[in-house]
């Protein structure tokens, strides 16, 4: 049985309902395919949208940043979005142009993680989400660095998913007789060749968990 996302006033698909999905597996796939989200929050009456990295652990999303960041105070309603652009949809008319994409929008009130063990585990999940294998390779954060870092946990219980795939929608309309090319222009992203830090001493090899990502797709 499909694990379905609950429908609320904030997550109900009001437009382009055919692109909406209530399958939690689609939400998980979208989140797992990326590592940068946009955190939207109202601060002193003004909307602020902050890009930040994230990591998913089950039905929670971990976000982190500096303790000085007002956007990571916790206890305030937020909206987090993740979007992957898969290509341009180039129709015969400009009006029918579009984008093939996968997007997720999560609503909720994040909690500030204060338990030391959970905080460390959350930071590990966040690190491993972006670069698997890096947590066990690099030096772990010390007490001072942990104190300077805020970690929020946001439930994935209230989320909206939309996915658009396929060709333009005007192939069977009047514009089909115009004789114009129409179709999709796919967009893909891949990891490039690792570039060593100029300050790196000679002889230190690229670790295997990083080297094997070269040429692999992202998103």
pLDDT tens for each residue of 8-47: 888 888 887 788 888 999 999 999 999 999 999 998 889 9
Residue 155 resides in a domain:
yes
User: Residue 72: inside a domain, yes or no?
Assistant: yes
In a domain, 218, yes or no: no
Instruction: Give me the CATH number covering residue 142.
Output: 2.30.110.10
* Contacts of range 88-91, beta carbons closer than 8 Å, 24 or more positions apart: 88/184, 88/185, 88/187, 89/164, 89/166, 89/167, 89/168, 89/184, 90/168, 90/181, 90/182, 90/183, 90/184, 90/185, 91/168, 91/169, 91/170, 91/175, 91/182
In a domain, 202, yes or no: no
Residue 1 has pLDDT above 60, yes or no: no
Domain membership flag for residue 216: no
Whether 198 maps to a domain, the answer reads no
pLDDT digits (tens, 9 = 90+) for 169-193: 998 999 999 999 999 999 999 999 9
Q: What is the pLDDT of residue 60?
A: 95
Structural domain count, the chain: 1
Q: Does residue 86 form part of some domain?
A: yes
Domain span at 21: 17-187
Quote the DSSP letter at residue 93.
Answer: S
User: Quick one: pLDDT at residue 13?
Assistant: 87
- Averaged pLDDT score across all residues of the chain: 92
pLDDT of residue 75: 78
In a domain? residue 192: no
Q: How many CB atoms lie within 10 A of CB 216?
A: 8
């Amino acid at each position: 049985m499909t694990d379905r996302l609950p429908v609320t006033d904030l997550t109900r698909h009001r437009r382009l309902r055919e692109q909406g999905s209530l399958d939690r597996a689609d939400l998980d796939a979208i989140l797992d395919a990326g590592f940068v989200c946009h955190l939207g929050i109202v601060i002193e009456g003004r909307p602020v949208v902050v890009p930040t990295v994230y990591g998913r652990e089950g039905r929670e999303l971990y976000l982190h940043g500096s303790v000085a960041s007002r956007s990571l105070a916790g206890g305030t309603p937020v909206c987090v979005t993740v979007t992957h652009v898969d290509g341009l949809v180039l129709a015969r008319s400009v009006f029918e142009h579009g984008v093939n994409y996968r997007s997720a929008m999560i609503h909720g009130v994040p909690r500030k993680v204060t338990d030391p063990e959970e905080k460390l585990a959350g930071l590990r999940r966040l690190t491993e989400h972006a670069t698997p294998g890096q947590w066990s390779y690099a030096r772990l954060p010390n007490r001072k660095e942990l104190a300077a870092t805020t970690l929020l946990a946001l439930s994935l219980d209230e989320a909206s998913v939309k996915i658009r795939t396929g060709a333009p929608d005007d192939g069977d309309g009047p514009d089909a007789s115009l004789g114009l090319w129409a179709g999709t222009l796919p967009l893909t992203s891949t990891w490039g060749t690792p570039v060593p830090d100029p300050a790196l001493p000679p002889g230190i090899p690229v670790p295997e968990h990083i080297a094997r990502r070269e040429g692999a797709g992202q998103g």
